[in-house]
A and B are shown apart, each in its own frame.
Chain A
Amino acid sequence: MQRSMLQGVIVNLVTWTLVLLIAFPLLWMIITSVKPQTELFRIPPTWFPETITFEHYWRLLTETPFLTYFRNSVVLATTTTIFVVALGTLGAYSLVRFKYRGRETLAMLVLFTYLLPSVVLIIPLYLMMVAIGLSNTLVSLILAHTTFALPYALWLLRSFMEGVPEDLESAALVDGASRMGAFRDIILPQLLPGIISTALFTFILSWNEYLYALVLVNSDSVAPLTTGVMSMLISAFNIEWSLLMAASVMMSLPLIVVFAFLQSYLTSGFGAGGVKG
C-alpha cells in the first residue's frame, strides 16, 4: 500500500518533469513574444514580463510579408492534404479490394520510398520540377509534399480499409448502388476516422516541412511560413528574437486549434496504423 503510493508519486513526478521540460520552450516562446524589446536581453531574465506588449505581432502583420507566407502555407498544406487524402483513399481501396498481379509488391515499393532520406530524393525532384517548368511555384511544393506524405497515408488508410467488411459494400451493390455509389455512401463514412487522422498527419507534415520548401522555392511570393519567416528574421548578423517568437506563436496556433478538436481521432489513427500496418 505504502509502496504503491510512493511509486505513484515518483511516476507522477517524473511525468511532470518531462512535461515541463518539453513544454518549457513553448512557454518561453510565448513569454518572449510579448516582452518589449528592452526587457528581452535583461540579465537576469524576467520570468514574467513586466509589461505585456503586442507590438511584435502588430509589426509582423503590418510591416512584413508574414501574411503572404501564412496564406501560402494554408494553401500548401490544405491542397496537399486534399490530394493525399483523395489519392490515399482510392489507392487503399484498390489495394484492399481488387486482386491484381504485383499488388503486394506495389504496396511495399511505395513504402520503400518512405525509407529513403528526403535529402536523397530532393535533388532529382528539383531537377524534375525545373524540367517541367514548375520550379519556384507553390504547385511544385504541393507535388513534393504529396509524394512525401502519400506512402504513409496509403498504409494508414489501408489498415482502416481492411477494417471495413466487404459484405457492407456487397450489400450496397445488391441494394442498387453503383461501385462509386457504394464507395461514397458506405465506405467513406466508415473510413472517416482514418481519413481524419490521415488528413491531420498530412497537414502537420506539410505545415512544418522545411527542407523541400527551402530547395524548391526561393521567392517571397510563394514561400511558406517555415522558410519565409526564417529568411526574413534570421540573417548572418542579427536574429529578430521578438518577431521570431511572435511568428512562431502564430504558426503554431492553427495546429493547436486543429489538434485540440481532432485529438481523439489522431491517437486512434496512430493506434490502428501501429497494430496492423
Chain B
Amino acid sequence: MADVTLTNVRKQFGTFVALENLDIEIKSGEFVALLGPSGCGKSTTLRMLAGLEFPTSGDISIDGRVVNDVAPGKRDIAMVFQSYALYPHMSVAENIAYPLKKRGVSAADRKVAVQKAAELLQLEPLLDRKPKQLSGGQQQRVALGRALVREPKVFLLDEPLSNLDAKLRSYMRAELIELHRRLGKTMIYVTHDQLEAMTMANRIAVMHGGKLQQFDTPDAVYNRPANRFVASFIGTPSMNQLEGQLDGALFHVAGHSIPLDRTRFADDLGTGDYALGVRPEFVAIGDGELPAKIRLVENTGHEQIVTLELTDGTRLLARTDAARRLDVGQNVQIGFHPDAIHLFAPGEEGPRLNKNDAASVIPMRSR
C-alpha cells in the first residue's frame, strides 16, 4: 500500500507539451480514475508513474520516495496494458510467473503464487494455453493475473476494459471493484469512459488538453463540476450549456429571461456573457416560461431523452419519464429547476461560478 504523488509535473515531447502543472495526490489504498478524452495525456501520466516515460520537470513519488530516476522494475508497481501485452510465446502460467522469475523467486514458490492468482481469476483450466488461444476476456484476466501475482504496492491500469464487449465489460467492472476491495491496494485506472470512472473510482481526476481539470469524488465531479469542460464531459447525455448574458438576477437567452437565485452564485459577478448549465433531468417540460419546440424523442424504455429547440435555434436535452406522451413538432414551455442551475464563465474551460456549498443535488422525484 502506498500513496502516489505527482508534484508540478510537466511532460514535453519535443516542443509538444503533453502535460502541464500536474499536481495529483493519491492516498494509500485509493481507487483513482484518470478520466479524459483521447489524447489528453492519461496514458502519458500512467507511463510516467510506471517509469516508462520521464517527466520533463516535476517530481513523482511513490510511498514517500521520489522515483523520478528509478527503473520501472524497481518501483514496485504493476501495470495492465490496454493491449494486455501478453507474451505470445509463453503459456498463461509462464506469463503470470514472469514478474516473479525476474525477481528471483524460486520455481516452487512461483508455482504456488501462479496457482493462487489463477484461482482468484478462475484461470486454472487455461494455464497451459498460449495467449492466442484465449478469448479477449480471458486474456484480460491473464493480464490482471500477471499484475497481481507479485503483490505490488500500486496497480496501474490503462483502459483495461476497452477491448471487451459491453456485457463482459460491465462484468469485469464489478470484478475489479471487488478485487480492489479485497486487496485494498492503491489502484490508478485510466479510462475515457466516464461510466467506468463514475462507478469504480473513489476519486476521479478529469483531464483535458494535458491539464488536470478537477480531482474529486464522483459525486462532486457530477454535481459540482469545476468548469464547463468537466460539466460537459461527465454525464450522459451531458449537461446543457446555454450561452447568454447575465444582468443582475436575470439570465437572458434566446430573447427570454430566466430569473436566478443570486445567493447561489459568487457575489461579484458583473453584467456580461456567461453560460448557464443545467442537466437534462432538471429541465421540466410544460412547467416554465421558456418557449421551445420538441425536435426528437428517444425512448430507451425507462426514460425519454427529448431534444428541444429554443426560438433562436439553440438545442438542449431533457430527460423525462418513459410514460409521458410527447410529440415531435409540439410547442412546449420549459423551465429549469432553480436549485440545479450552474453558472459558468465563458470559454471551453470556463470555471463554475456557483458558491461551492450550494451543491446541486436534488432527488430526481422532487422536480
The residues of A with any CB-CB pair to B shorter than 8 Å are 165, 167-168, 170-178, 181, 185-186, 189-190
Are A165 and B83 in touch, CB under 8 angstroms?
yes
**How distant is the Cα of A174 from the Cα of B81 in the complex, in angstroms?**
11
Determine whether B72 belongs to the interface, using a CB cutoff of 8 Å to chain A: yes
Are B73 and A171 in touch, CB under 8 angstroms?
no
Are A170 and B85 in touch, CB under 8 angstroms?
yes
Q: Would you give the shortest CB distance from B209 to chain A, in whole angstroms? A: 24
* 20 other A-B residue contacts (CB within 8 Å) besides A170-B50, A174-B50: A167-B81, A167-B85, A170-B47, A170-B81, A171-B85, A172-B87, A172-B102, A173-B72, A174-B51, A174-B52, A174-B78, A175-B73, A175-B99, A176-B73, A176-B102, A178-B71, A178-B73, A181-B102, A185-B98, A190-B88
Are A190 and B89 in touch, CB under 8 angstroms?
yes
- Contact pattern, B 272-294, Cβ under 8 Å of A = 1, otherwise 0: 00000000000000000000000
The residues of B with any CB-CB pair to A shorter than 8 Å are 47, 50-52, 71-73, 77-79, 81-83, 85, 87-89, 98-99, 102-103, 146
Q: Would you give the shortest CB distance from B114 to chain A, in whole angstroms? A: 14
**How distant is the Cα of A175 from the Cα of B99 in the complex, in angstroms?**
4
Name which residue of chain B comes closest to A175, CB basis.
Answer: B99
Are B103 and A173 in touch, CB under 8 angstroms?
no
- Which one of B71, B72, B89 has the highest number of Cβ atoms from chain A below 10 Å of its Cβ? B72
Contacts A176-B102, A181-B102 given; does A189 touch B89 at CB 8 Å: yes
Are A174 and B73 in touch, CB under 8 angstroms?
yes
**How distant is the Cα of A85 from the Cα of B85 in the complex, in angstroms?**
26
Contacts A170-B52, A190-B88, A190-B89 given; does A177 touch B81 at CB 8 Å: no
Are B88 and A171 in touch, CB under 8 angstroms?
no
Q: Would you give the shortest CB distance from A174 to chain B, in whole angstroms? A: 5
Find chain B residues with CB under 8 A from A178 CB.
Answer: 71, 73
Find chain B residues with CB under 8 A from A174 CB.
Answer: 50-52, 72-73, 77-79
User: Which secondary structure dominates chain B's binding surface?
Assistant: loop
Name which residue of chain B comes closest to A181, CB basis.
Answer: B102
Find chain A residues with CB under 8 A from B103 CB.
Answer: 176
Find chain A residues with CB under 8 A from B72 CB.
Answer: 170, 173-174
Interchain CB contact (< 8 A) of A172 among B47, B77, B82, B98? B98
Interchain CB contact (< 8 A) of A171 among B71, B77, B79? B79
**How distant is the Cα of A79 from the Cα of B71 in the complex, in angstroms?**
36
Closest 7 CB pairs of A and B: A176-B102, A176-B73, A171-B85, A167-B85, A175-B99, A173-B72, A189-B89
Q: Would you give the shortest CB distance from B42 to chain A, in whole angstroms? A: 15
Are A167 and B83 in touch, CB under 8 angstroms?
yes
**How distant is the Cα of A170 from the Cα of B73 in the complex, in angstroms?**
10
Q: Would you give the shortest CB distance from B25 to chain A, in whole angstroms? A: 23
Find chain B residues with CB under 8 A from A189 CB.
Answer: 89
User: Which secondary structure dominates chain A's binding surface?
Assistant: helix
Q: Would you give the shortest CB distance from B125 to chain A, in whole angstroms? A: 24
Q: Would you give the shortest CB distance from B74 to chain A, in whole angstroms? A: 8
Q: List 16 A-B contacts (CB under 8 A).
A: A165-B83, A167-B82, A168-B85, A168-B88, A170-B81, A171-B146, A172-B98, A173-B72, A173-B73, A174-B52, A174-B73, A174-B77, A174-B78, A176-B73, A177-B73, A190-B88
Find chain A residues with CB under 8 A from B88 CB.
Answer: 168, 190
Are A165 and B102 in touch, CB under 8 angstroms?
no
Name which residue of chain A comes closest to B76, CB basis.
Answer: A176
Contacts A189-B89, A190-B89 given; does A175 touch B98 at CB 8 Å: yes
**How distant is the Cα of A170 from the Cα of B52 in the complex, in angstroms?**
7
**How distant is the Cα of A26 from the Cα of B79 in the complex, in angstroms?**
58
Q: Would you give the shortest CB distance from A136 to chain B, in whole angstroms? A: 45
**How distant is the Cα of A177 from the Cα of B102 in the complex, in angstroms?**
6
**How distant is the Cα of A168 from the Cα of B78 in the complex, in angstroms?**
14
Find chain B residues with CB under 8 A from A167 CB.
Answer: 81-83, 85
Q: Would you give the shortest CB distance from A128 to chain B, in whole angstroms? A: 39
- Which one of A173, A175, A185 has the highest number of Cβ atoms from chain B below 10 Å of its Cβ? A175
Q: Would you give the shortest CB distance from A166 to chain B, in whole angstroms? A: 9
Find chain A residues with CB under 8 A from B73 CB.
Answer: 173-178
Name which residue of chain B comes closest to A165, CB basis.
Answer: B83
Find chain B residues with CB under 8 A from A173 CB.
Answer: 51-52, 71-73
Find chain B residues with CB under 8 A from A175 CB.
Answer: 73, 78, 98-99, 102, 146
- Which one of A165, A171, A172, A186 has the highest number of Cβ atoms from chain B below 10 Å of its Cβ? A171
Interchain CB contact (< 8 A) of B81 among A171, A176, A186, A190? A171
Name which residue of chain B comes closest to A186, CB basis.
Answer: B87
Find chain B residues with CB under 8 A from A177 CB.
Answer: 73, 102
Name which residue of chain B comes closest to A171, CB basis.
Answer: B85
Find chain A residues with CB under 8 A from B50 CB.
Answer: 170, 174
**How distant is the Cα of A190 from the Cα of B90 in the complex, in angstroms?**
11
**How distant is the Cα of A181 from the Cα of B98 in the complex, in angstroms?**
12
Find chain A residues with CB under 8 A from B146 CB.
Answer: 171, 175
Q: Would you give the shortest CB distance from B213 to chain A, in whole angstroms? A: 27
Q: Would you give the shortest CB distance from A67 to chain B, in whole angstroms? A: 40
Find chain A residues with CB under 8 A from B85 CB.
Answer: 165, 167-168, 170-171
Name which residue of chain A comes closest to B158, CB basis.
Answer: A167
**How distant is the Cα of A172 from the Cα of B86 in the complex, in angstroms?**
10
Name which residue of chain B comes closest to A189, CB basis.
Answer: B89
**How distant is the Cα of A170 from the Cα of B83 in the complex, in angstroms?**
12
Q: Would you give the shortest CB distance from B157 to chain A, in whole angstroms? A: 12
Are B102 and A168 in touch, CB under 8 angstroms?
no
Name which residue of chain A comes closest to B74, CB basis.
Answer: A176
**How distant is the Cα of A86 from the Cα of B83 in the complex, in angstroms?**
29
**How distant is the Cα of A236 from the Cα of B88 in the complex, in angstroms?**
59
Q: Would you give the shortest CB distance from A274 to chain B, in whole angstroms? A: 23
- Which one of A176, A178, A185, A190 has the highest number of Cβ atoms from chain B below 10 Å of its Cβ? A176
**How distant is the Cα of A165 from the Cα of B146 in the complex, in angstroms?**
18
Find chain A residues with CB under 8 A from B51 CB.
Answer: 173-174
**How distant is the Cα of A178 from the Cα of B51 in the complex, in angstroms?**
12
Are A176 and B83 in touch, CB under 8 angstroms?
no
